[in-house]
Structure 1
Amino acid sequence: VSQRWTPEDKEWQHAGHLVANQEYRHVLDTLESLVVAQLFELTKMNRAGTGYKLWKHIAKALQTHSAAIKAALNRYNKCTLAMQLPHQMLHWEQVVEYAFLADFDLLRDTHKDISQRPWANPSACFALDTYFKMCQAEEEIECLNVEIRRVITYMRDEEHFLRTCKEKISNIHPALGHQVSQCHKLHSQFNGSHLKHLHDIAMLLGFSGTLIPGVSASKGPGE
């Protein structure tokens, strides 16, 4: 080295930007990993079959994760101030709502700065998500119209099947007929609630399906 760098030299400033960028990436990776870990813990907490002791253990782990996320968030915001180009600062409310890794990918540096692109704006992202959800909703409505009629048909056929089985078996095998009768009563208790919900759906504005039962393709016993 023929000459030592000074803060006024371009090489010094360039090296400083490289160090700041490296630290920024490291802090962002740490923040991302902590948020992902918290998402996994939340999923585990809401999983069926989670015992009370495990639930308490997860709750304590979430408290620790929250404190770690806040500390990492503070380090991240400090690093953004040292960057050459302006970077988005984050708040606690934003981070806890991140549910996709793509939310973090938009914060990363690339060869071209994408932070100023229209589609990287949070409002634009929300508009895009809403648009595609609306497009998918039209397809989902068609599927629901089919499923609603299938449920109606199944409840009618099940009611008829259990009633017929009870009448045929009661005289031959009273004990078995009693069990079929109990099963019939149990299923009948929920049919009224299901029909009410389906009727409420049918009363919604824009409903394009039908509550008229269809014809089952299977006609064999128990089908």
Structure 2
Amino acid sequence: MLKFSEVASYAWLGEFEMLKHSHCKILSKPWASKANREVAGKYFRIVRAREGIHRLNIEISRLQTWVDTEDAHLLEISTALTTTNTVLASEIRMRYEEHRHINNLHHIRLQAIYNLHGYCGNSVGQGNGVDKDQSAVLEELRGADLIEVNKYNEAGKRKERKEMESTRKESTWYNEMDSLVNPYPKA
């Protein structure tokens, strides 16, 4: 008797000996062909990719709206508090400046997405919060190679870890604590 676990473990239709010898001519069906199954798999991957693009278009417009709303809200609160509480207003204004600098990066990236040839989503707002230092931010980003930066960053972290490890091993305190925690000597 066939068990479900056995049936589920078969990867290919051709492994079903029982189906090969059935009277229904299962192997002559279009879905029994490996090429047809691969084409169907690719088709459904394309369908899922289109759904993903639709979801991304929605998320892109949400991000644009959120960035614009955050900038406007912080500026509005800062301006409103200028007359009643100047200390709080200046603190919120500093937060606004920090957020605006970061949000300008978001605006630049969003604008690059809007300029893509195949982009088909809404371009709501299109960065009404981008300020004068956008060209400075673009210039800063222009020569940056993110992959190399990450490689150097990882290499720097590894070097720091090795230095910390060697310093820690030289420390008598570390050796004493290690002997208390690990009673077996290292070979």
Q: TM-score, normalised by structure 1?
A: 0.40
Q: TM-score, normalised by structure 2?
A: 0.47
